[in-house]
Amino acid sequence: MGKRKTWILNLGLTLGSVLFGVFIGEIGLRLAEIEGLKKLPQPGHGNFSPSFYTTSHPDLGWVNRPGAEGWWRQEGEAYIEINIDGLRDQIYSKNKPKDAVRIAVLGDSFTLAVQVAVEENYSSVLEKELQNCADLKDKKIEVMNFGVDGYGTAQELLMLREKVWDYHPDIVILSFFIGNDIIDNSAQLESNHYRPFFVYKNGELVPDYSFRKLSLEHSDRYWITMVDRLPSGLVNRSRILQVAKKAERDLKQKNLLQHLNKLNAKNFREPTDPVWEEAWNITEDLITIMNQEVQEKNAQFLLVTIGDPMQVHPNPAFRQSFMKTAKIEDFFYPDKRLKALGDRVGFPVLNLAEPFQSYSEENNVCLHGFEAAVPCAGHWNPDGHEFAGKLIANQLCQQVKK
């Protein structure tokens, strides 16, 4: 047999063995019911979508996908249903009832809260608690949840302009997560660039939509995998590729956590470099602009700051150890800075970190975290949502008296 025929035969045997191995692997993964991550096809200008219940958007980067539904079981467990207007909420008429007090809540994953049932979300607790407010007893309370996973203040301001005002809210609440919202507002600090940012041009803060021209594989090194570069039809038919995607995604998420841990400590310290100084300036200016636009619509504004899990851990020794390691002098520096902004500009601020810390320590309970996940870390559990809803309801009840 000639060398060429031998080479062809060996190549055929090798390819056949590989294909047979792939076939056996596909069958084995299916029989074992081992699943990975599919590459969901997305409509619109791009393909970036943080989860199965979101879709890409040309102005906001991504939004909740109308009509999406399914189980969330990665942290907590809840069934997710997104209504036709893109809210994890009931359907509201854009014509506000005359006897209604309508409250729009803007926020990120703490507000969308896929970790808990919709009735346990702090926005639902807030709506129920406000029924007990004497100054609102003859009103129909409607608390609308505009939360979207991963949003920063820039996207929340754009959401206010593009969607919220269609519903004519009387009160707008901006929920600000101390843990990453300052980072999210900086193109230099945030790793996910498939989103709009606000930048200074000629001294004015303006939106930057350059992400529209960004290729998917260059949008976020901690999110996009090698498998994401393959055709959707191939990935969604191959269990091996789906498992490979999940394995790579899990590794990237661990790397992202390490990256965020390095940045996290700087949230609690006064900025000493130009990048963090600009991140804070952008953040404060975005909040100030939002307050101005709310007042121009004759509505009330409330900034609610959500504490980082490290700030509110029930163990004082654990908190002190973290502060010492991270060289943090005042764990409530960002909360106090945002409260000072409200006092200076003229809008109310409700800081949740201190009451959360006191409640957690006094009752030795974790208001963040779930049994199947990291205890006392991550998002609010049902107890955290209930406590937050009550605190916000008390603030608003006092606010409407003025």
Closest to 368 measured CA to CA, from 351, 350, 358, 356: 356
Return the number of other C-beta atoms located less than 10 Å from residue 331's C-beta.
22
* 107 vs 45, residue with greater confidence: 107
Strand 140-145 versus strand 100-106 pairing type: parallel
Per-residue pLDDT reduced to its tens digit, 173-193: 999 999 999 999 999 998 888
Per-residue pLDDT reduced to its tens digit, 63-86: 999 999 999 988 999 999 999 999
Q: Is the pLDDT of residue 386 over 80?
A: yes
Q: Which of 52-66, 124-138, 225-239 has the lowest mean pLDDT?
A: 225-239
Contact 42, 51 (CB under 8 A): no
Contact 348, 287 (CB under 8 A): no
Q: Which of 92-101, 175-184, 243-252, 259-268 has the lowest mean pLDDT?
A: 243-252
Phi, psi of 123, deg, nearest 5: -70, -35
Q: Is the pLDDT of residue 339 over 70?
A: yes
* 279 vs 74, residue with greater confidence: 279
* 218 vs 200, residue with greater confidence: 200
Cα dist. 322→120, 328, 369 in Å? 31, 8, 18
What does the pLDDT read at residue 42? 42
Task: Report residue 138's pLDDT band, with 50, 70 and 90 as the boundaries.
Answer: confident
What does the pLDDT read at residue 27? 73
The answer, as to whether pTM is greater than 0.75, is yes
Q: Percent of the chain scored above 90 by pLDDT?
A: 67
Q: Is the pLDDT of residue 39 over 70?
A: no
What does the pLDDT read at residue 45? 38
Q: Is the pLDDT of residue 93 over 70?
A: yes
Q: Is the pLDDT of residue 397 over 80?
A: yes
Q: Is the pLDDT of residue 43 over 50?
A: no
Task: Report residue 245's pLDDT band, with 50, 70 and 90 as the boundaries.
Answer: confident
Query: CB neighbours of 149 closer than 8 A, spacing ≥ 6?
Result: 50, 51, 54, 108, 109, 112, 114
The rounded mean pLDDT for the chain is 87
What does the pLDDT read at residue 250? 73
Q: Is the pLDDT of residue 29 over 60?
A: no
* CA atoms lying within 13 Å on the CB side of residue 194: 24
Closest to 392 measured CA to CA, from 119, 199, 176, 112: 176
Round to whole Å and give the CA distance between 339 and 341: 5
What does the pLDDT read at residue 226? 67
Helix (H), strand (E), coil (C) string for the chain: CCHHHHHHHHHHHHHHHHHHHHHHHHHHHHHCCCCCCCCCCCCCCCCCCCCCCEEEECCCEEEECCCCEEEECCCCCEEEECCCCCCCCCCCCCCCCCCEEEEEEECCHHHHCCCCCHHHCHHHHHHHHHHHCHHHCCCEEEEEECCCCCCCHHHHHHHHHHCHHHHCCCEEEEEEECCCHHHHCCCCCCCCCCCCEEEEECCEEEEECHHHHCCHHHCCCCCCCCHHHCCHHHHHHCHHHHHHHHHHHHHHHHHHHHHHHHHHHHHHCCCCCHHHHHHHHHHHHHHHHHHHHHHHCCCEEEEEEECCCCCCCCCHHHHHHHHHHHCCCCCCHHHHHHHHHHHHHCCCEEECHHHHHHHHHHHCCCCECCCCCCCCCCCECHHHHHHHHHHHHHHHHHHCCC
Round to whole Å and give the CA distance between 242 and 25: 12
What does the pLDDT read at residue 382? 97
Q: Is the pLDDT of residue 40 over 60?
A: no
Q: Is the pLDDT of residue 215 over 90?
A: no
What does the pLDDT read at residue 111? 98
If you average pLDDT over residues 100-124, what whole number do you get?
A: 97
Q: Is the pLDDT of residue 400 over 60?
A: yes
Q: Is the pLDDT of residue 88 over 70?
A: yes
Per-residue pLDDT reduced to its tens digit, 345-383: 999 999 999 999 999 999 999 999 998 788 899 999 999
